[in-house]
Homo-oligomer: A and B are copies of this chain.
Amino acid sequence: MEKLVQKKLKFRGNEYPCCASLTMGIIGGKWKTVILYHLMDKTLRYNELRKEMPTVTERTLSLQLKALEEDGLIVRRVYTSKPPLKVDYSLTDFGKTLIPLIQSIADWGDLVAEKYSR
């Protein structure tokens, strides 16, 4: 006679009660999907990303990039050791497994914006 306990899912030290929340734990938040969306088909430098996302602050962009890098979704490559620095960001192979999902997220947002913008 034992209770059926749902198995917790784990990723990088965090536990999630459900597979959907695990995904949201990794790509959730205000900016992560936007970053991934812009990196979906190309490598971008830090300032190029800023131009694509005019309303994000430097600090926040920096923190979110670091988090995505820690979760293994993007790589940060440094090309110079002295200022002016050259750094760029791109998806890892693991990050690329998210492309269809990011595309769906963007498509649904497009659909809604189109339908309800009037």
Chain A interface extent, by class: 35 or more
Given A18-B53, A101-B104, A102-B20, is A109 in contact with B30 using a C-beta cutoff of 8 Å? no
Residue numbers of A with Cβ under 8 A of B are 6, 9-12, 16-24, 26, 28-31, 33-34, 36-37, 53-55, 97-98, 100-102, 104-113, 116-117
Q: Are A11 and B53 within 8 A (Cβ)?
A: no
Majority-rule SS of A interface residues = helix
- The docked-state distance in angstroms from the alpha carbon of A106 to that of B36 is 18
Enumerate 13 A-B pairs (CB-CB under 8 Å) in ascending A order: A11-B116, A19-B105, A19-B106, A19-B107, A20-B37, A21-B109, A22-B113, A23-B33, A23-B105, A23-B112, A28-B28, A101-B105, A101-B108
Closest chain B residue to A53, Cβ basis = B17
Option from B6, B11, B24 in Cβ contact (under 8 Å) with A30: B24
